[in-house]
Amino acid sequence: MSNTIVNEMKIVKAESSKIQDVDFDNIDFGRVFTDHMFSCDFKDGKWQTPEITPYQPLTIDPSARVFHYGQAVFEGMKAFKDDKDAVWLFRPEDNFNRINISAKRLAMPEFPKEYFFNGLETLLKLDKEWVKKGDGNALYIRPFIIASEPAISASPAEEYKFMIICSPVKAYYKDKIKVVIAEKYSRSADGGVGFAKAAGNYAAQFYPTKLVQETGFHQVIWTDANTHEYLEEAGTMNIFFRINDKLVTAPTSDRILDGITRKSIIQIAKDNNIEVDIRPVTVKEIKEAAKDGSLKEIFGSGTAAVVSPISAFKHGEEVFDVVEPENTYHGMFKRQLMDIQYNIAEDKHGWRYKI
């Protein structure tokens, strides 16, 4: 290994790459990781010198507060490679802002912007060969912060670890999915942490999701905690409905994540002169639209999933198939979004970020 200091960042390069051992045509989402990782510790009231090292296990005390009090937040990003071997990020400043919003909500220190972008760029340059060309290929990037201080005391930690790891990926959902509308369980509540990418939000989803998967469905459409009358998110995605030719989605709130793909789809819809209605959406309304034929599409959006069509939904004992028109919004949105991400189409909103 070679040790260097670049821009006040310690870099220890891997002696050799493991990339030759990876079958990129048959890869499970999020199970293979690149050669290097970025880390930075928060101690004595400030962030220390960041470093990039070979990807390796961590040594962490069993009493680290993350294990006992759940101080953990994360982000999901992707890097894309165009036909000229240039690597691009998509709206990374939104990810940077959101991880600090999440951190603040969990009483964690915000991470410096210079460290974030310098670490991200250096890491991607080192592991550039892991970003593969081709439609659907990407490098998934996972920044996260955990409370690392060894102390079993129910209060915010005084030590943290910020890290970035990367994983080559293909599609998250290969087929259309079927969902169940929640009637009992809730993802989040007013005044809670639903708007943050807190690790515990996802852990709390696993059990109700497991229950619906046992019945042949894939995900849960979450409803409001008070009445279960309003539709909010689909599994790990924001959710959209096409009613006739109008695109409808719920507004962000304390309960709903401000999805970056969601915001991009709303803008792309407007660019295509599609009417977008951002408002509370009731279960009753969507069921009635399914019955009278005005419900044309349901789809979810997210960094991992990009755009995922929903073929059927269940509420109570009723199951509704979603019969799509020939030319779908979700297909158009996904294509136009990916063409921007892969540097194929014009980026008139300045979303791309070149590495």
Instruction: Report pLDDT digits (tens) over 88-97.
Output: 999 999 999 9
Comparing CA positions, the residue from 141, 173, 147, 171 lying closest to residue 160 is: 147
Q: Calculate the alpha carbon distances from 35 to 17, 125, 126, 195 in Å.
A: 6, 12, 8, 32
Predicted local confidence at residue 8, as pLDDT: 83
Predicted local confidence at residue 291, as pLDDT: 97
- For 161, half-sphere exposure in the C-beta direction (CA atoms, 13 angstrom radius) is 18
Residue predicted with more confidence, 305 or 284: 284
Residue 324's pLDDT band (boundaries 50, 70, 90)? Answer: very high
Predicted local confidence at residue 6, as pLDDT: 55
DSSP one-letter string for 106-119: TT-PPPPHHHHHHH
Please state the rounded mean pLDDT for residues 338-342. Answer: 97
**Which tens digit of pLDDT belongs to each residue from 204-248?**
999 999 999 999 999 999 999 999 999 999 888 999 999 999 999
Could you tell me how far CA 241 lies from the centroid of its own chain?
A: 20
Q: Where are the beta strands (DSSP E) in 211-303?
A: 219-223, 230-234, 237-243, 246-249, 276-278, 281-282, 295-302
Residue pair 155/170 in contact (Cβ under 8 Å)? The answer is no
The class level of CATH for 3-169 reads: alpha beta
- For 96, half-sphere exposure in the C-beta direction (CA atoms, 13 angstrom radius) is 16
**Which tens digit of pLDDT belongs to each residue from 125-141?**
999 999 999 999 999 99
Predicted local confidence at residue 156, as pLDDT: 97
**Which tens digit of pLDDT belongs to each residue from 161-215?**
999 999 999 877 677 899 999 999 999 999 999 999 999 999 999 999 999 999 9
Number of neighbouring beta carbons within 10 Å of residue 66: 18
Give dist(CA 326, CA 251) in Å, integer. Answer: 28
Residues above pLDDT 90, as percent of the chain:
91
Predicted local confidence at residue 128, as pLDDT: 98
pTM for the full predicted model: 0.94
**Which tens digit of pLDDT belongs to each residue from 254-268?**
899 999 999 999 999
Alpha-carbon dihedral sign for residues 21, 136, 133, 351: negative
Q: Is the confidence at residue 7, as pLDDT, over 90?
A: no
Domain 177-341 sits in CATH at 3.20.10.10
Predicted local confidence at residue 211, as pLDDT: 96
Please state the rounded mean pLDDT for residues 295-305. Answer: 93
Q: To 5 degrees, how large is the angle CA 317–CA 321–CA 327?
A: 160
**Which tens digit of pLDDT belongs to each residue from 29-85?**
999 999 999 999 999 999 999 999 999 999 999 999 999 999 999 999 999 999 999
Please state the rounded mean pLDDT for residues 289-297. Answer: 97
Q: Is the confidence at residue 4, as pLDDT, over 70?
A: no
Residue 3's pLDDT band (boundaries 50, 70, 90)? Answer: low
- Domain ranges in the chain are 3-169, 177-341
Residue pair 32/175 in contact (Cβ under 8 Å)? The answer is no
Q: Which residues pair with 297 in a beta bridge?
A: 242
Residue pair 239/280 in contact (Cβ under 8 Å)? The answer is no
Predicted local confidence at residue 205, as pLDDT: 94
